[in-house]
């Protein structure tokens, strides 16, 4: 049985639930939200939605006892309206740290033995705080990190160069936030380094497009949902199926003393291997800056 729990079924949690069900990634799905009316509505709508599906997911209401044999907890509780007029993921920390303080002891005492996949912002700091308060092994607490930003980078390149995304290799790394950057030295199109194809000016434009991609969506609809739901679902699938997906997730970097996004192998036991990129001198400087940013955010908790 593949069992996932989602804590916080707002725009992101509910779209992730829908994605897990429609892509046949789960057998059992437990939903939690502090707003009872939202929770009941989402459970009902998802139930309606799966009526014509061949696979029927067991949809379960909020019961902490269900966490004991849950494989993956997806943490997506927060309040997206905080970003209105305040375009920095750091803005949500005052609220989201209190949600971690509420849920971490519950998760710890539930007998949960699986993997936590955090989406809630600021993603790297909240993932670290979840690990610290649940006291789960570091490899079993992961954040979606720069997986979505890497998707946004591929979107920008694919549109600008008119190439299929499958031809694009490479990563956005660092904080899931303003100090993230495209590690251009890792990016290849059909095996050719992109730096041999595009000028630095064009790379700068694409870097900004990747960083601002989320705000384009946010400004239009007040939240983002599909991009992150697809990333969360594929990472959850990698854990459930033990498929060794290499993806830029937020995970603990011993040398840096914090959680930060970079490519890592995701398997049934969580993070099984980290793949440090060979960065250029300029990229190393950006890496140091992003690490400092994460440390100073974490220090405010
Ligand atoms: N990491 C990423 O790439 C990424 C992408 C998009 C959104 N996000 C983040 O994901 C989170 C959710 O975004 P959203 O658009 O769904 O927000 P939202 O405001 O639509 O939904 C948040 C949900 O969390 C619930 N909630 C609040 N406090 C709770 C608590 N104590 N216990 C249980 N549930 C609680 C709310 O009732 C609400 O239903 C935010 O932190 C957002 O910034 C991250």
* 110/249 same-domain check: no
C-beta 35 within 6 A of ligand 1: yes
pLDDT given at position 87: 67
Angle made by CA atoms 15, 215, 221, in degrees to the nearest 5: 50
Q: Which two tokens stand for residue 60?
A: 């379960």
* 116/228 same-domain check: no
C-beta 33 within 6 A of ligand 1: yes
Q: Supply the CATH number for residue 218's domain.
A: 3.90.110.10
* 135/164 same-domain check: no
Per the annotation, the verdict on 295 as an active-site residue is no
Q: Any residues with CB less than 8 A from the CB of 58 and at least 6 apart, and which?
A: 27, 28, 29
pLDDT given at position 84: 84
Fill in the DSSP letter of residue 261: E
* 40/127 same-domain check: yes
Nearest CA to ligand 1 atom 17: 80
Contact 62, 105 (CB under 8 A): no
C-beta 78 within 6 A of ligand 1: yes
Classify the phi-psi angles of 245: left when phi > 0, otherwise alpha if psi is within -120 to 50, otherwise beta: beta
Boundary residue ending a domain (91, 110, 141): 141
Q: Which domain holds residue 102?
A: 1-141
The whole-angstrom separation of Cα 298 and Cα 162 is 40
Residue 12 annotated as part of some ligand binding site: yes
pLDDT given at position 184: 97
pLDDT given at position 64: 98
Q: Which of 176, 251, 253, 298 is catalytic?
A: 176
The whole-angstrom separation of Cα 133 and Cα 130 is 5
pLDDT given at position 86: 75
* 22/90 same-domain check: yes
C-beta 4 within 6 A of ligand 1: no
> Could you give the number of structural domains in the chain?
2
Residue 121 annotated as part of some ligand binding site: yes
Distance 10 CA to ligand 1 centre (A): 6
The whole-angstrom separation of Cα 123 and Cα 103 is 16
pLDDT given at position 88: 73
Fill in the DSSP letter of residue 120: P
Average pLDDT, consecutive stretches of 10 residues, N- to C-terminus, the chain (301 residues): 98 98 97 98 97 94 98 98 80 95 98 98 98 98 98 96 97 96 97 96 92 89 96 98 97 98 98 97 98 97 94
* 209/72 same-domain check: no
pLDDT given at position 125: 98
The whole-angstrom separation of Cα 210 and Cα 223 is 17
Q: What is the dihedral of CA 21, 233, 40, 109, to 10 degrees?
A: 120
- Return the closest-CA partner of residue 154 out of 140, 136, 167: 167
């Amino acid at each position: 049985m593949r069992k996932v729990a989602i804590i916080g079924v707002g725009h992101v949690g509910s779209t992730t639930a829908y994605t897990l069900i429609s892509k046949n990634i789960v057998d059992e799905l437990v939903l939690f939200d502090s707003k009872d009316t939202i929770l009941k509505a989402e459970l009902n709508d998802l139930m309606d939605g799966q009526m014509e599906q061949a696979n029927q997911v067991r949809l379960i209401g909020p019961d902490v006892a269900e966490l004991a044999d849950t494989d993956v907890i997806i943490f997506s509780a927060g309040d997206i309206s905080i970003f209105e007029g305040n375009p920095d993921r750091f803005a949500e920390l005052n609220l989201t740290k209190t949600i971690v303080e509420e849920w971490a002891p519950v998760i710890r005492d539930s007998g949960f033995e699986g993997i936590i996949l955090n989406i809630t912002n600021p993603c790297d700091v909240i993932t670290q705080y979840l690990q610290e308060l649940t006291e789960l092994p570091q490899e079993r607490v992961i954040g979606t990190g720069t997986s979505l930003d890497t998707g946004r980078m591929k979107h920008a390149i694919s549109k600008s160069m008119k190439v299929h995304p499958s031809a694009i290799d490479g990563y956005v790394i660092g904080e899931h936030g303003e100090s993230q950057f495209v590690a251009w030295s890792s990016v290849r199109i059909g095996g050719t380094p992109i730096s041999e194809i595009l000028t630095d000016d064009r790379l700068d434009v694409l870097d900004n497009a990747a960083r601002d991609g989320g705000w384009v969506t946010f400004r239009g609809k007040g939240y983002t949902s599909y991009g992150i739901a697809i990333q969360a679902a594929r990472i959850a699938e990698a854990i459930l199926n033990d498929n060794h997906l290499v993806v830029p997730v937020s995970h603990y970097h011993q040398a840096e003393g914090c959680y930060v996004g970079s490519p890592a192998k995701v398997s049934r036991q969580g993070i099984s291997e980290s793949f440090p990129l060979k960065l250029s001198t300029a990229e190393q400087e950006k890496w140091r800056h992003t690490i400092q940013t994460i440390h100073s955010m974490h220090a405010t908790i």
